[in-house]
């Protein structure tokens, strides 16, 4: 059965919130910078923008909507709401559509009767994606929902079976959304009788609404900084992209007054506290560096990135928060990445003399 894609219906729109514009500058990129040909237009197109026009955040209320996989939403007729399909491959969309049809035929579909806000999107297992693409939706819903559901809505989440489930629970708790209001789902379809969906919050690596800052200011409320003005951020829990000489670089940074911090082994509050007072942050590109959200405007952020990795995610965070961004491109070394993996998932190395010069320039 072909899958029909439709826009979100105008009569389902219940609230809007304009976003302010913000300006950017082309990033400082040092070292070998060799993006795959197919990524150049998208990444360089983002970098070339001097001003991002704020997108209006729109809140929709959908009756009898089917949610499948990591946030695909179908209407009661099995039509796919096109805005929810971003970042999904066609195979995933086809599988999800079939799952909805099969569950309806078998009468095995799970249902949720009360109001629920969709808080899951692709790669829910990634800390950065959660903090930028999903969590702000819960914050905005608290301000935009109708009065009759504002205090009692559930957050529809994607269970990862790993540490990210704890991250979701902790961050939502800091927004005042406790365990009884967390509705955990997997890839199987769920029929939501009263689903709220936000559009215009983010487009991963392409756009972030400045309203995201208010969300994370609330998350950080009451957390005191540790006084670490220089922070070297390690990446010990990521898959692939190992910075082979990270330990040696961390030792060099520590000798220059940098505190060496591993966000992968810290609570949310501990991560906020580590970044709050930082005026210079340096580390290998990875999800833990999303915590630059908690730095004060003007802080310097220096990333060590594989030479071929197409990424504008952290540059956008810096633009929205008012941070100074620098990208140190590193040589990719060792065996090729595994089957189906992009070349930037190889290990990397940073030349010690080059790193020493960067530290000296940072002061």
* Torsion region of 241: left, alpha or beta (phi above 0 gives left; psi -120 to 50 gives alpha): left
Does some domain include residue 11? Answer: yes
- Pair of tokens at residue 307: 């030479």
What pLDDT is stored for residue 106 in this prediction? 86
What pLDDT is stored for residue 238 in this prediction? 64
* 110 and 189, same domain (yes or no): yes
* 166 and 278, same domain (yes or no): no
Does some domain include residue 76? Answer: yes
Does some domain include residue 221? Answer: no
Q: How far apart are CA 152 and CA 139, in angstroms?
A: 14
* 168 and 105, same domain (yes or no): yes
What pLDDT is stored for residue 107 in this prediction? 85
* 307 and 349, same domain (yes or no): yes
Does some domain include residue 199? Answer: yes
* 287 and 187, same domain (yes or no): no
Q: 76-94: b or e for each residue (b if 16 or more CB lie within 10 Å)?
A: eeeebbebbbebbeeebbe
What pLDDT is stored for residue 277 in this prediction? 98
* 205 and 60, same domain (yes or no): yes
Domain limit, last residue, from 166, 183, 213 = 213
* 163 and 298, same domain (yes or no): no
Domain that holds residue 298: 230-362
Q: How far apart are CA 294 and CA 223, in angstroms?
A: 10
Domain limit, last residue, from 161, 182, 213 = 213
* 285 and 172, same domain (yes or no): no
* 353 and 237, same domain (yes or no): yes
What pLDDT is stored for residue 268 in this prediction? 97
* 93 and 239, same domain (yes or no): no
What pLDDT is stored for residue 246 in this prediction? 96
What pLDDT is stored for residue 42 in this prediction? 92
Q: How far apart are CA 97 and CA 285, in angstroms?
A: 35
CB 241 within 8 A of CB 303: no
234: domain CATH number?
Answer: 3.40.50.360
What pLDDT is stored for residue 232 in this prediction? 99
Does some domain include residue 333? Answer: yes
Does some domain include residue 278? Answer: yes
Q: How far apart are CA 187 and CA 313, in angstroms?
A: 26
The number of beta carbons lying within 10 Å of the beta carbon of residue 253 is 24
Block means of pLDDT (10 residues each) for the chain, length 363 residues?
91 98 96 95 93 97 97 94 94 94 88 96 95 98 94 95 96 97 97 98 94 98 98 84 95 98 95 98 97 98 97 97 98 84 91 97 91
Domain limit, last residue, from 213, 239, 259 = 213
* 240 and 329, same domain (yes or no): yes
What pLDDT is stored for residue 222 in this prediction? 96
For 45, list phi and psi in degrees, rounded to 5: -65, -40
* 73 and 178, same domain (yes or no): yes
Does some domain include residue 236? Answer: yes
Counted domains in the chain: 2
């Amino acid at each position: 059965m072909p899958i029909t894609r439709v826009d979100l219906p105008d009569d389902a729109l219940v609230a809007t919130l304009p976003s302010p514009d913000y300006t950017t500058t082309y990033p400082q990129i040092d070292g070998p910078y060799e993006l795959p040909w197919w990524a150049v237009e998208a990444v360089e197109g983002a970098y070339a923008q001097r001003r991002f026009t704020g997108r209006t955040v729109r809140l929709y209320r959908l009756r009898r909507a089917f949610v499948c996989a990591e946030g695909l939403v179908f209407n009661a007729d099995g039509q796919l709401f096109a805005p929810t399909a971003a970042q999904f491959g066609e195979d995933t969309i086809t599988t999800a559509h079939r799952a909805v049809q099969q569950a309806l035929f078998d009468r095995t579909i799970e249902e949720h009767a009360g109001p629920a806000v969709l808080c899951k999107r692709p790669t829910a297992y990634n800390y950065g994606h959660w903090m930028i693409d999903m969590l702000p939706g819960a914050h905005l819903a608290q301000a935009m929902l109708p009065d009759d559901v504002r205090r009692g809505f559930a957050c529809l989440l994607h269970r990862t079976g790993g540490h990210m489930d704890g991250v979701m629970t902790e961050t939502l708790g800091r927004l005042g959304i406790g365990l009884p209001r967390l509705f955990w789902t997997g890839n199987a379809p769920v029929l939501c009788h009263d689903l709220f969906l936000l559009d215009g919050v983010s487009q991963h690596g392409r756009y972030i609404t400045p309203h995201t800052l208010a969300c994370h200011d609330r998350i950080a409320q009451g957390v005191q900084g540790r006084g670490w003005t220089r922070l070297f951020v390690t990446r010990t829990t990521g898959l692939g992209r190992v910075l082979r000489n990270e330990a040696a670089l961390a030792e060099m940074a520590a000798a220059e007054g940098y505190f060496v911090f591993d966000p992968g082994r810290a609570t949310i509050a501990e991560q906020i506290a580590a970044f709050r007072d930082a005026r210079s942050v340096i580390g290998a590109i990875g999800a833990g560096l999303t915590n630059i959200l908690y730095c004060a405007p003007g802080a310097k952020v220096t990333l060590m990135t594989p030479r071929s990795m197409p990424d504008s995610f952290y540059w956008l965070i810096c633009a929205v928060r008012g941070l100074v961004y620098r990208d140190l491109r590193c040589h990719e070394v060792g065996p090729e990445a595994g089957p189906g993996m992009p070349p930037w998932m190889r290990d990397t190395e940073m030349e010690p003399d080059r790193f020493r010069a960067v530290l000296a320039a940072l002061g």
